[in-house]
Amino acid sequence: MNLPLSNHAYGEHALVLPPDDPTSHDDADISMETRLRMYRMLQEMRQFEKRAYDLFMQQLVKGTTHLSLGMEAVAAGFGAAMDTDDYTFATYRGHAHTLARGVPMEGVLAELLGRANGLLGGKGGSMHLTSVEHKVMGSYAIIGAHLTIANGAAWSAQYRRSGQVAVCFFGDGTTNIGAFHEALNYAAVFKLPVVFVCENNQYMEYTAIGDITAVRRPAADRAPAYGLEPIVVDGNDADAVHLVAAEALAHARSGKGPVMVEALTYRHGGHSRADPGKYKPPGELEAWLAYDPIKVYRGRLERLGVAAADIDAINAEVAAAVDEATEAAKNGPLPDPRAAFTDVWADGGHQWRS
Amino acid sequence: MNLPLSNHAYGEHALVLPPDDPTSHDDADISMETRLRMYRMLQEMRQFEKRAYDLFMQQLVKGTTHLSLGMEAVAAGFGAAMDTDDYTFATYRGHAHTLARGVPMEGVLAELLGRANGLLGGKGGSMHLTSVEHKVMGSYAIIGAHLTIANGAAWSAQYRRSGQVAVCFFGDGTTNIGAFHEALNYAAVFKLPVVFVCENNQYMEYTAIGDITAVRRPAADRAPAYGLEPIVVDGNDADAVHLVAAEALAHARSGKGPVMVEALTYRHGGHSRADPGKYKPPGELEAWLAYDPIKVYRGRLERLGVAAADIDAINAEVAAAVDEATEAAKNGPLPDPRAAFTDVWADGGHQWRS
Amino acid sequence: MAILTYREAVARGIAQEMERDDSVVLIGEDVAGAGGVFKTSAGLLERFGPERVIDTPIAEQAILGAAMGAAMTGLRPIAEIMFSDFFAVCWDLVVNEMAKTRYMTNGQVTIPLVVKSGNGGSLRFGAQHSQSIENWAMAVPGIKVVAPSTPEDVVGLMAAAVRSDDPVLFFEHKGLYSSKGEVPDGPIVDELGTARVRRPGKDATVVALGLMVSRALAAAEQLAERGIDCEVIDLRSLVPLDAATVLESLGRTGRLFTVEENPRMLGWGSELVAIAGDDGFWDLDGPIVRITTPHIPLASADSLEDLMIPSVDRIRDEIEQALKP
Amino acid sequence: MAILTYREAVARGIAQEMERDDSVVLIGEDVAGAGGVFKTSAGLLERFGPERVIDTPIAEQAILGAAMGAAMTGLRPIAEIMFSDFFAVCWDLVVNEMAKTRYMTNGQVTIPLVVKSGNGGSLRFGAQHSQSIENWAMAVPGIKVVAPSTPEDVVGLMAAAVRSDDPVLFFEHKGLYSSKGEVPDGPIVDELGTARVRRPGKDATVVALGLMVSRALAAAEQLAERGIDCEVIDLRSLVPLDAATVLESLGRTGRLFTVEENPRMLGWGSELVAIAGDDGFWDLDGPIVRITTPHIPLASADSLEDLMIPSVDRIRDEIEQALKP
Ligand SMILES: Cc1ncc(C[n+]2csc(CCOP(=O)(O)OP(=O)(O)O)c2C)c(N)n1
Ligand SMILES: Cc1ncc(C[n+]2csc(CCOP(=O)(O)OP(=O)(O)O)c2C)c(N)n1
Ligand SMILES: [Mg+2]
Ligand SMILES: [Mg+2]
């Protein structure tokens, strides 16, 4: 027999290593203002999620939570490129994408803690972060569907001639499910203003993407099947992402139809809190830690002349904000029991019979 | 706006015309025995379906039925290339594929008439023709699923090391549904012995495939997304199909994994009995009628020296067989009412409670 | 007043709402150029143009996803799932996304959309094209479920569905498409969650839906000749459920019958039995009888299909039998 | 005799059958290398090798299709759908294909397969990862539905499911995975369609499933202290349904309660009410009470989730209230 997984033991698949030149985008045409904004975002995402992890360990965060530690440059690069009115569609691994749109940390953290001041009043949880006010149109926890829903928002923007673009983030593993295919063809046929962003972090939950995918690049190698250009970007370099994001958004906004971007990155931790990450072959995590998006970006700022003290000041400001949000979340009241019975229907209630 | 269908009125899409050289495969390396077998199959499929149509018009066939008039060369070319033990998975448009495996006409026709001597005892109908005895593992009426089920039969063959190949026929419209994508990736990853055959007859029900598909060749242009070769064949020339079929089957049988073939063809009639076919642009049907698979093949046989009388004799034998099957079907008894209550479960019954 | 077929009424209801509100759009397979495979959208493309009436690929998840995303961002889409059996290929969008998103987001997201679909049997289409699946949807909190039985109701309930700010599954009965009925002129707007007493009666309450309504009425006529006076209620929508009308009737008649096309287990009738048990137990003068298709997939042969779906004769006989003193 | 966790029992049941029969194979996302995300297949890859224990892409339709096609052609596959909520993305394979193919082919095709899945709430996973969907499956003729509540039952019912020649959905309760119980040594083969009286009693019949069984038992203990003696029945499988055991008990107690985790409408309880109405109506001394999760998606916050799923206290109180003279 010739099964892909009979050629190697589980966990012994080939390593995918990061690029090794962090200077490649030092002279990219990106303003220092934008760069500092992205650096701050990276810090917010990182420090926020580390805090979420700590709270998890203290058993304050219930259920499950999926961190994107190590993948922040994708969220920051896109977040900084999007217009205020553009739509974000994220997954259960959506903390960073939510913060990237300016959603306050307190609401997100309080939601993880199941408090009344949570973004969703405790009814959604970590996997369903949504802030319509910030055009974060939801985080979706069942693989695939949200690509088709993002199409709908893009269709609406097209119909309303609003100039908005829908940006839809999803993982490498998601490229193998049916809804991915339906969404991509549909978007291409109707030239919808949507940008699909595959965060290829090399794994679905515990299985290496290469072990269960017929092509090497799960998104890019599928793009031509929808008449799209294959685009791959270094997902650990916020500047690289930012440039590609700006171009993709402009393309979609101009009516030329969808774009799909595959961003190569890596998650430092496990899939979710339950995962010890044993399937990662030796050396892989270390290589990606050495190419950590924050390290890459801080190095760049320093080479471009930003004083270490100024950078440290940003870090400290973010740390203070995270502390403040933590306090507010911890001090948040439990949801009113009556909240469990509201908003099944648009009339605010849950009655289904007379 | 830039919708594909706002560029042209419905029904005014570009014509897709057949090749115009029916002699291209005159010197293909195919034995006269096989060729005569294929010609007979073409006749059986054609005459059978014309009869089914007549019976429909006489209101003897109830419900719906989907004819493949004009598409027979695909079924004949593959049917003649498959081993007795290979599996067929067909769609609701499955008469030809069922006959191609040697399933007697009487059972098929009686099934269309809802009689007890029907292939399925009247419980399945036109859209679900199945004959496990002939390895026709079913005709499936909801788009997409059967590609994944064909994978399962191929997996079983691989596991049992039986050397069987599963051949799965589906339409152009089916390439846009999610299950197509899942099935293709799955088959490629596990190197399953399965051959996927897209019968591209240019239309889904009433909509031209080009109007709702992001690529020109709905199957072939997607093959690389699964690491497969794009293969397109003239689906109206049984010899062309036969050669490609033999190669595809050999590839799959040898353990090299799946193959996908796109066969270009055309249905002469409507999608189903209800369809007058108004969406076909002028000239299109005529061009394909001129390149009718039976006409093409009869011409070839004559050029290769088969006497017209011998060909006519085959036609007459088939006509007699169709008449006989018609009588047997018409004379078939109605199903025993008790049959409605059998075979929900493997114990033969339908009880679900004590 | 005009005589319309049920299928014409579907198109009329949609047209009425598209005329009124630019944000109403229609998508689905073959709904535009061909006017729908059941001709329930005939003429809409010509009238409202290709930006508002759109043919899609065969991609039910993409269709419902597009409808949902558009509904979340300002449109009021109507999507067609050609045969209701095909909900199974896009069920995730219905039960996990449309049904739950308002709740999960604490009311941030509103999803005003309608999914119309051809439902039910009697056309000899076999097990995969004949199902009555309104009970699948009823089991999922967050989805409204409508199933009209007359052309007039089709127009008015379609309007109500389009105007609802919640996702609505609109089940058109395939076996009724060519049936005819009077429809008043001018705009019609009905109300979800309101059952209709189609025939008043005092001996028994008979509740039916969709195709079963006319059969229940015919059975009631025959029973009347035998001295049994049935009240026939057309449920019209399962969610919201007008239990009050049923319970009120039961309070008067003391006996309840359901006539259901769905397979027996977990049809809407079982819920009605349970509700009557909760709220009307002491009104019951005898067991509630569910007259249903047996719990079996539908056979395609006409002679077999006719054995399965409740017929006028069977409805009449089961009621008569149960009421025998 | 060994003490096993429920999750270990799943792996043990599968191993028992794989050991016995080479045609039993296991596929699913992360079932092999990782031993399952719930660790219900831990050790099976090591024991049975990569031809029989296989990690798949995220492609639930492909997974169930592969299982079905293989079952039609000689294997007896077990497929995993990680969370039962995900059945919605592959429901077509279950309801339109697996459930109907034997019938439609007049018995030509046999489909001996098991789909195992983590079902149910109580883990604060929110609305899309906590559903109890056994009632979805129960509504579809042609699918067997099993939901064990103890480690011993897990082993024996898994064996029975694998040996069944019909497609079986095997619902493991996620909230029970870390629960423990005694499991006899050696092969265990149980029987589908057999309920178990977990506690005999004479005042009321309380029927429960999955996670609700232990809660019903705890409530019964508390009620016993208050002088109410409940018989608690663990239904174990919904299809086939052991209605006889329930009706027999009802015949003795005169009162029936169901304890259901599913949202209220069209849970298995409503079918039980209807069956009791059909066959046990004259045994009923009062309304049947369904104790269920309200008809609302599940909230993720622990404080809210605990309000929704029936708790021991709520079960106790609702029973006590209903039996008040
Ligand atoms: C339809 C469906 N199948 C399976 C899962 C379980 N699941 C949750 S996350 C995940 C892995 C997803 O991998 P990928 O798309 O690469 O995203 P990542 O988690 O790496 O960001 C799986 C299998 C799911 N949520 N939905
Ligand atoms: C999931 C699903 N969606 C829609 C349909 C309705 N339908 C039946 S046949 C058909 C067209 C299929 O087109 P194609 O795949 O090209 O096959 P053809 O009929 O041309 O042979 C459609 C849309 C269906 N059966 N299943
Ligand atoms: Mg991933
Ligand atoms: Mg076609």
Q: Which of C183, C216, C248 is the last residue of a domain?
A: C183
The span from the CA of A116 to the CA of A63, in Å, is 17
B350: chain C residues, CB-CB within 8 Å: 294-296
Q: Would you say residue B3 has pLDDT above 60?
A: no
The span from the CA of D162 to the CA of D25, in Å, is 10
A257, A188 Cβ separation under 8 angstroms: yes
Is A277 exposed, middle or buried, given 0-12, 13-18 or 19+ CB atoms closer than 10 A? middle
Q: Give kind and range of the element (H or E) at residue D199.
A: strand D196-199
Tell me, using a 6 A CB cutoff, whether residue A114 lines ligand 1.
Answer: no
Maximum pairwise Cα distance, chain C: 63
Q: Would you say residue B230 has pLDDT above 90?
A: yes
* Interstrand relation of C144-146 and C237-239 (parallel, antiparallel or unpaired): antiparallel
Separation of B204 CA from ligand 2 center, angstroms?
6
- B4 pLDDT band (50/70/90 cuts)? low
C238, D252 Cβ separation under 8 angstroms: no
Token pair, residue D53, equals 């224990």
Q: Give kind and range of the element (H or E) at residue B45.
A: helix B32-57
DSSP state letter for D299:
P
pLDDT of residue C282: 86
Range B54-81 average pLDDT: 95
Q: Share the mean pLDDT of chain A.
A: 95
Q: Would you say residue B5 has pLDDT above 70?
A: no
The span from the CA of D322 to the CA of D260, in Å, is 17
The span from the CA of C308 to the CA of B209, in Å, is 38
The span from the CA of C260 to the CA of C273, in Å, is 13
Short-list D134, D140, D189, D185, CA closest to D161: D189
Q: Would you say residue A3 has pLDDT above 60?
A: no
Residues 6+ apart with CB under 8 A from D201: D220, D224, D229, D230, D231, D232, D253
**How many CA atoms are closer than 13 Å to the CA of D244, on its beta-carbon side?**
6
Is D194 exposed, middle or buried, given 0-12, 13-18 or 19+ CB atoms closer than 10 A? middle
C79, C114 Cβ separation under 8 angstroms: yes
Q: Three-class SS string for B143-167?
A: CCHHHHHHHHHHHHHHHHCCCCCEE
* Interstrand relation of C24-28 and C196-199 (parallel, antiparallel or unpaired): unpaired
Q: Within chain C, which residues score under 50 in pLDDT?
A: none
Q: Three-class SS string for chain C?
A: CEEEEHHHHHHHHHHHHHHHCCCEEEEECCCCCCCCCCCCCCCHHHHHCCCCEEECCCCHHHHHHHHHHHHCCCCEEEEEEEEHHHHHHCHHHHHHHHHHHHHHCCCCCCCCCEEEEEECCCCCCCCCCCCCCHHHHHCCCCCEEECCCCHHHHHHHHHHHHHCCCCEEEEEEHHHCCCEEEECCCCCCCCCCCCEEEECCCCEEEEECCHHHHHHHHHHHHHHHCCCCEEEEECCEEECECHHHHHHHHHHHCCEEEEEEEECCCCHHHHHHHHHHHHHHHHCCCCCEEEEECCCCCCCCHHHHHHHCCCHHHHHHHHHHHHCC
pLDDT of residue B1: 40
Does D148 sit behind a cis peptide bond, omega within 30 degrees of 0 on the bond before it? no
Range of the domain at D244: 196-323
Does the residue C9 lie in any domain? yes
pLDDT of residue B9: 63
Interchain proximity D242–B353, CB inside 8 Å: yes
pTM for the predicted model, two decimal places: 0.98
The span from the CA of A151 to the CA of C64, in Å, is 10
Q: Give kind and range of the element (H or E) at residue D180.
A: strand D180-183
The span from the CA of A290 to the CA of A283, in Å, is 11
pLDDT of residue B11: 61
Q: How many domains, chain C?
A: 2
Token pair, residue C259, equals 């006539």
Residue B33: count other Cβ atoms within 10 Å of its Cβ.
9
Do D164 and D206 fall within a single domain?
A: no
Does the residue C259 lie in any domain? yes
- B25 pLDDT band (50/70/90 cuts)? very high
Do D22 and D149 fall within a single domain?
A: yes
Angle at Cα C256 formed by Cα C253 and Cα C262, nearest 5°? 155
Do D154 and D218 fall within a single domain?
A: no
DSSP state letter for D144:
E
pLDDT tens per residue across span B103-141: 999 999 999 999 999 999 999 999 999 999 999 999 999
Calculate Rg over the CA atoms of chain B: 20
Do C7 and C36 fall within a single domain?
A: yes
CA quadruple C275, C276, C282, C288: dihedral sign: negative
Tell me, using a 6 A CB cutoff, whether residue B205 lines ligand 2.
Answer: yes
pLDDT of residue B20: 87
CA of A67, closest CA in chain C: separation in Å? 20
Do D200 and D130 fall within a single domain?
A: no
The count of residues in chain A is 354
Range D301-317 average pLDDT: 98
Interchain proximity C50–B144, CB inside 8 Å: no
Subunits with 3+ Cβ pairs within 8 Å of A are B, C, D
Q: In a mutagenesis test of the C interface, which of D81, D130, D144, D271 is the best target, namely the one with the most C β-carbons within 10 Å?
A: D271
pLDDT tens per residue across span D278-298: 898 888 999 999 999 999 999
Does the residue C188 lie in any domain? no
Short-list B160, B13, B16, B7, CA closest to B87: B160
Greater confidence, A281 or B130?
A: B130
The span from the CA of D126 to the CA of A63, in Å, is 8
Q: What is the CATH number of the domain that holds C301?
A: 3.40.50.920
The span from the CA of C38 to the CA of B150, in Å, is 31
CA C64 to chain centre: 19
**Candidate list D116, D129, D174, D215, residue with the active-site label:** D129
Does the residue C247 lie in any domain? yes
Q: In this complex, is the C-beta atom of D88 within 8 Å of any C-beta atom belonging to chain A?
A: yes
The span from the CA of C129 to the CA of C120, in Å, is 8
Do D139 and D205 fall within a single domain?
A: no
pLDDT of residue C131: 98
Token pair, residue D156, equals 């024996």
| Out of C61, C64, C106, closest to residue A124 by CB | C106
Do D203 and D118 fall within a single domain?
A: no
Is A77 exposed, middle or buried, given 0-12, 13-18 or 19+ CB atoms closer than 10 A? buried
Amino acid of residue C283: D
- A271 pLDDT band (50/70/90 cuts)? confident
What is the CATH number assigned to the segment(s) B41-325? 3.40.50.970
Short-list B152, B168, B170, CA closest to B160: B152
Quick check: is C129 catalytic?
Answer: yes
C285, C255 Cβ separation under 8 angstroms: yes
Does the residue C189 lie in any domain? no
Tell me, using a 6 A CB cutoff, whether residue C63 lines ligand 2.
Answer: no
Range B272-299 average pLDDT: 90
pLDDT of residue B7: 52
pLDDT of residue A2: 44
The span from the CA of C181 to the CA of C162, in Å, is 22
Do C134 and C227 fall within a single domain?
A: no
Q: Would you say residue B272 has pLDDT above 50?
A: yes
pLDDT tens per residue across span D244-283: 999 999 999 999 999 999 999 999 999 999 999 889 888 8
Do C224 and C167 fall within a single domain?
A: no
Q: What is the CATH number of the domain that holds C74?
A: 3.40.50.970
Do D244 and D173 fall within a single domain?
A: no
pLDDT of residue C121: 97
Residues 6+ apart with CB under 8 A from C47: C15, C18
Q: Would you say residue D205 has pLDDT above 70?
A: yes
Residue C146 φ then ψ, to 5°: -125, 140
Helix (H, G, I), strand (E, B) or coil at A188: helix
Tell me, using a 6 A CB cutoff, whether residue A208 lines ligand 1.
Answer: no
- A1 pLDDT band (50/70/90 cuts)? very low
Q: Which of D128, D154, D183 is the last residue of a domain?
A: D183
Helix (H, G, I), strand (E, B) or coil at D282: helix
- List all residues of chain B from 148 to 167 with a beta carbon under 8 Å from chain A: 158-159
Residue C321: count other Cβ atoms within 10 Å of its Cβ.
9
Short-list A83, A100, A82, A76, CA closest to A241: A76
Does the residue C127 lie in any domain? yes
Residue C261 φ then ψ, to 5°: -85, -25
Maximum pairwise Cα distance, chain A: 69
Do C63 and C205 fall within a single domain?
A: no
CA quadruple A49, A52, A53, A54: dihedral sign: positive
Buried b (16+ CB within 10 A) or exposed e, B113-127: bbbbbbbbbbbbbbb
Amino acid of residue A241: V
C229, C277 Cβ separation under 8 angstroms: no
Helix (H, G, I), strand (E, B) or coil at D289: strand
C121, C261 Cβ separation under 8 angstroms: yes
Scanning every residue of chain A, which has its alpha carbon at the shortest distance from the alpha carbon of B217?
Answer: A225
Tell me, using a 6 A CB cutoff, whether residue B311 lines ligand 2.
Answer: no
A95-109, B91-105, B261-275, D233-247: lowest mean pLDDT where?
B261-275
* Residue spans of beta strands (DSSP E) within chain B: 87-91, 136-140, 166-171, 194-200, 232-234, 259-264
Is the ipTM value over 0.90, yes or no? yes
Residues 6+ apart with CB under 8 A from C203: C228, C229, C230, C253, C255, C323
Do D148 and D239 fall within a single domain?
A: no
pLDDT tens per residue across span D101-128: 999 999 999 999 999 999 999 999 999 9
